[in-house]
Amino acid sequence: MHSISIQEVFFFIIMHLRFPSLITFIICLFAVSLIAQDQAPTPERYKVFDTYDDLQAHISKYASQTVVINFWATYCAPCVKEVPFFDQLQEKYRANNVKVIMVNLDFKSQLKQRLDKYLNDHPIPNLEIVVLADQDADSWVPRVTSDWDGSLPFTMVLNKGVLKDTHRQEFSDFDDLVKFVAPHVPPKPTLASKRRR
């Protein structure tokens, strides 16, 4: 946006005197576009799963690759601190066919005030976010893995559907996260391997 000069203001006033309806129309269009921009914070930014089964079905779509899953919530301070590391991680390993899934555990009834607001303030463009709204934690937490008690954050890495490693606290920095994931990252497909296919 550039600032409006005096000449432009004059031009505008003169135009308004000569073609009032046209200018009003343009102003209306402009206003509508502003409102539209304001009200549509990416409609399909995240999926909401009501049961752990639904989440599992979704994750199993990536069963042929390395998947990093992080359980987090916007109210969890250490979680929020490490979310950008995961965004960076997805970017770093995109070519290695690594999928990062952020499983958000905010209350479904509070998604607007919490998750939407968070995503507005902290764009994490590389990350897939899903919301798990299954409230019966005692039944689904043990199904994730037996060594997790449900406290956030929690991260795990799967390779071809097999659990490889878990991390039960926050990562101190991006390198800490890379160190955790790197052993399970497949090499980038080289030109030669592509040709073989």
Catalog residues that contact another protein under the rule CB under 8 A. Answer: 73, 75-78, 105-110, 114, 133, 135-139, 141-142, 149-152
Which lies closer to another protein via its Cβ, residue 87 or residue 134? 134
Which lies closer to another protein via its Cβ, residue 80 or residue 178? 80
Residues ≥6 apart with Cβ < 8 Å to 65: 97, 98, 99, 160, 186
Least distance (Å) between residue 153 CB and another protein: 8
Please give the angle made by the CA atoms of 178, 180 and 186, to the nearest 5 degrees.
Answer: 75
Strands 128-132 and 98-104: parallel
Structural tokens at position 47: 């999926």
Which lies closer to another protein via its Cβ, residue 64 or residue 135? 135
Amino acid at 91: E
Which lies closer to another protein via its Cβ, residue 42 or residue 113? 113
Least distance (Å) between residue 166 CB and another protein: 15
Least distance (Å) between residue 186 CB and another protein: 32
CA-to-CA distance for 44 and 122, rounded, in angstroms?
Answer: 17
Least distance (Å) between residue 113 CB and another protein: 10
Secondary structure, 3-state, 102-120: EEECCCHHHCHHHHHHHHH
Least distance (Å) between residue 136 CB and another protein: 5
Which lies closer to another protein via its Cβ, residue 35 or residue 137? 137
